[in-house]
Structure 1
Amino acid sequence: MSIAKEIVGFAIKAGSSDIHLEEGSPIAIRVNSDITILDQILRPSDMDRLLHEIVGEEKIAAFKQTHDLDTSIGLEGLSRIRINAYVANEKRCLTLRILPDNLPKWETLGLPQPFIDLTAKHRGLVLCTGPTGSGKSTTLAAFINCILETQKRHILTIEDPIEFRFQHSKTSIIHQREVKRDTQSFASALKAALREDPDVIYIGEMRDLETIQLAITAAETGHLVLGTLHTSSAAKTVERIVDVFPAEQQEQARLQVSTSLLGILSQTLCKNTTGKRSLAYELLINTPAIGNLIRERKISQIYSQLQTGSKEGMNTLEQCLIDLVKNGKISQQEAISKASNPKMILNADS
């Protein structure tokens, strides 16, 4: 039997999201946010077989040169996996992220309706943020899937690597480009994208100034632009975007963000009371009041707008966590560990 299918198949049955492999060490898997170390040792010869199966000779040669590799593949009959190969303490290591075999549906993920309503917009910037492993890619995959099913659009994705595989629907078409395979960089693909007649552009990660500038320009010129950032709140996301610009361009950047931004979903995953994970999120919908705060450098006041913006569907992370605790879905301790302001969770009882 294929060693890749044996390892990944076992991990899927165990409900794992990630597999950690190091030659000469026990296999480890992540289940519901926690690492579990197994008895089975991965021998160097096993690592040779595994790399040959899932990476192939050409990429193995590149990995030997750089000691880093990012890619993804589909394992027939199991699932797609995202692969990161690296070297630590002179040993070859692999992290495998198990991607759901079926495209995620927004209804089953617990995503808020006001966020999904943004799928009907024809221009602007929609961002999904959060720490690594918080489900950002899954959320935006569900968002894209909703567009494919309900709109008549051309969707273009730029990813490194491609995670979820989409198909054209009866009403929309989609083209997925992988950095280093189909295009040189996010920036070069974004420049080309404006000549490829897309309605929706998904950027796997907004990593640098050029990519962020091009994303904002695309949002301003009549495209719905989706992207991810590693930020922990809506306010910090706005700060990160503006701060990436040189000082003399930040005033202009604030103006552009205040008009092009549609919404920010900042999310995290919590261990719930059933042994699985629940989504907790902060949602910003860009209203005229929030646009003014961005233009006037009053980012710190965004939080209070989220607290009182329930009519537009907005909420803070703490409000969402408190609701999850009240509904018995997560423990108070878990809510405190995920909150940006733990005192609010404690004070909710008083």
Structure 2
Amino acid sequence: MNNRPSPIRGRFAPTPSGRLHLGNALTALLAWLQVRAAGGAMILRMEDLDAPRCKPGTAAQVMEEMAWLGLDWDEGPDVGGPCGPYEQSARLALYEEALERLGREDRIYPCYCSRAELQSIASAPHGLTGEGPVYDGRCRRLTAEERREREAVKTPSLRFAMPVKPFPFADGVAGPQSFGPGAGGDFVVKRADGIVGYQLAVVVDDIAMGVTDVFRGWDLLDSTPRQLALFEAFGEPPPRYAHGPLLLGLDGSRLSKRHGSVGLSALRERGAKPEKVTGWLAWTAGLTDEPEPLAPRELIRFWDPRRIAREAVRLPADWTNFIID
């Protein structure tokens, strides 16, 4: 499954469900700096498996906004590359092949739980993680006869059976991390509606594209043990993981489309310059001592993961004073 044309290979993998905002831009910038500082190859991959969430034309808008920021990539939907295609919607055969392998090795099982059953699991003590409800494995224990009876009523999803063992790893920003046995419970690798699960697709793609280094937001830290378990199941070495700070709105909530003024398109319309945006983001993350206009290429010399903030950063009330002319 491996194809590793370059010793250091990183990626930015947005979901094209909307325009980029400052939070997305921060993650993209830090992922890009990590790779470029090491002289590696940058991959842009569109995670567009969930078709109802993805809007036509948004992928092109995302790429245009990244280019405006001064971020480039060596492989991607527009430039191609040796590990394409670079849209997950065009890689479904690879995911089905991976599911068949996991099925043959008895690492996945059908889950027939209703929405109400899943909600009751989530409401139980210790029933939630950052990744959502901790599944209690009830369908894993069904007999063959019970599965036949349930399947006559409901199309199942498929869950990966998490090994009952700890998952330690060294995070490139936060340092040593360890997740306990089971690490969030068995998780869905294919939904009942046929959509392949995020965790499976990401791991299959990272293996096939030879990704060696992953920089992403802190909100995905809980994904790491699940992905480590999948890499182990496929007999492949995992990439090095690093998790950076999230940007929070003035109200303390995570940035999203509802914070309209933080979208890159809105900032551009108000006269923002890209080097002011990237310089401000680098300062916000902790890489520089003060906000100053710096293009991504100029920021490479400042790259030091030890300086990156380990806590979420709330936008200050005057945050536009530097970015907007």
* TM-score, normalised by the number of residues in structure 2: 0.29
Identify the structure with bigger relative contact order (alpha carbons < 8 Å, sequence gap 6+). 2
Which has the larger share of strand?
Answer: 1
* TM-score, normalised by the number of residues in structure 1: 0.28
